Amino acid sequence: MKTFRKSFIKKKPLEKASSKAQSAMEYLMTYGWAILIITVVLGALFELGVFNANNFAPKAPPGACQVFRPNGPGTTSFINLEGICTGEIPQYTASFSQSPAGYIYAPTISESNAKVTISFWLEPINNGYWGNGGNYWEGAVTLGFPGVTPCSGSSASTFIIESGPNPPVESWSAPSCYGNRDFPGVTLSPNTWQQLVGVFNGSYLTVYLNGKLIGSPVANNAVATYNNVLISGTQSVTSGPGDNPISGYMANLQIYNTSLSANDIQALYLEGIGGAPINLQNLVGWWPLNGNANDYSGNGNNGQASNVNYVSNWYSGYTPP
């Protein structure tokens, strides 16, 4: 009688390793291209800002917040804010054409106060339009019009960011006929949203970048008298508004007929790009530039826009304070 014995043959360790390696290679061959494509797509979406938290943040539509003056424009009794004024980011910001020049002109505004505060948000972009280094900004905000200021032929007050690859806060003058007042050593960050505030208290000029004082106050014996506002570019006796437009995006321009304090300016910055005015009693004009050129200060100083686009995909360079 034959006896059959079961034979157990153990695989060698080398054979096991070879089998695992082969399985891994088969897995990579099957799914590797899919993983690579998904990785590339996700990288592209991140680069385009699709996963930017601001994409999902609530956005204030045009005119969501405004100043209500029950007694009419120019009055200060019982004024208050109405609407969505909680600092939501705006749905749109303004972009100005370089050629033909883009600007917003508000001709009805008129002030003769010796003090002024100008606040706005901007994202400078180097598009290579002006000269070899490109132009970020020239005249950001101009108050006044040639021929009606204490110095004939010059603007009453200008906030100028000079052109160049690293745009400096070069000139803030009031009025420019007394000479530009420079703030050397301070440059703006390209493709990044930042807030600039210029203050003239009747004797000195100061500038704040993102809520912080830059440089030192500069003496100036000017009087801040003006009868219009030009947003983007400069104006002259011969050509009027529209020269040297700014390059980039701009939002939330506020003008006051007083010199805001350092604490006020810090608080205004912390409100963010969609922040409401902080001093309604002295508010002259408020142009959020959120989809239109209207003045929401309750004073009716609506702007006339020329070659201005309002863009909704503006927030890739914005980080809330």
Look up tokens 């983007």; give the residue: 232
Give the residue from 247, 287, 219 showing the smallest Cα distance to 161.
Answer: 247
Burial class (CB in 10 A: 0-12, 13-18, 19+), 238: exposed
**pLDDT mean across residues, the chain:** 77
> Span 240-252, mean pLDDT?
81
- List, in sequence order, the alpha helices (H) in the chain: 13-47, 262-270
pLDDT value of residue 151: 47
Tens of pLDDT along 225-238?
Answer: 777 888 887 776 55
| Percentage of the chain exceeding pLDDT 70 | 62
End-to-end CA distance of the chain: 93
> pLDDT grade, residue 22 (50/70/90)?
low
- What average pLDDT does this structure show over 89-111? 88
38 versus 313: the higher-pLDDT residue is 313
pLDDT at residue 154, as a whole number? 47
DSSP characters over 175-188: SGGG-----TT-BP
| Length of the chain (residues) | 321
What is the structure's pLDDT at 149?
A: 43
Question: Average pLDDT of 47-70?
Answer: 77
Structure tokens at 281: 């009693």
Give the whole-angstrom CA distance, residue 248 versus residue 86: 26
**For 170-228, what is each residue's pLDDT tens digit?**
555 544 455 556 665 567 777 899 999 988 888 888 889 999 998 777 776 655 677 78
Give residue 108's pLDDT.
83
pLDDT digits (tens, 9 = 90+) for 144-161: 754 444 444 444 566 766
As a whole number, mean pLDDT of residues 265-285 equals 96
Q: Cα separation of 200 and 309, whole Å? A: 31
What's residue 294's pLDDT? 97
Q: Phi first, then psi: what are they for 285, rounded to 5°?
A: -150, 150
pTM summary value: 0.78
Strand 212-219 relative to strand 204-209, pairing: antiparallel
Bridge-based pairing state of the strands 240-243 and 234-236: antiparallel
Average pLDDT over residues 123-148: 60
> Phi and psi of 19, rounded to 5°?
-65, -40
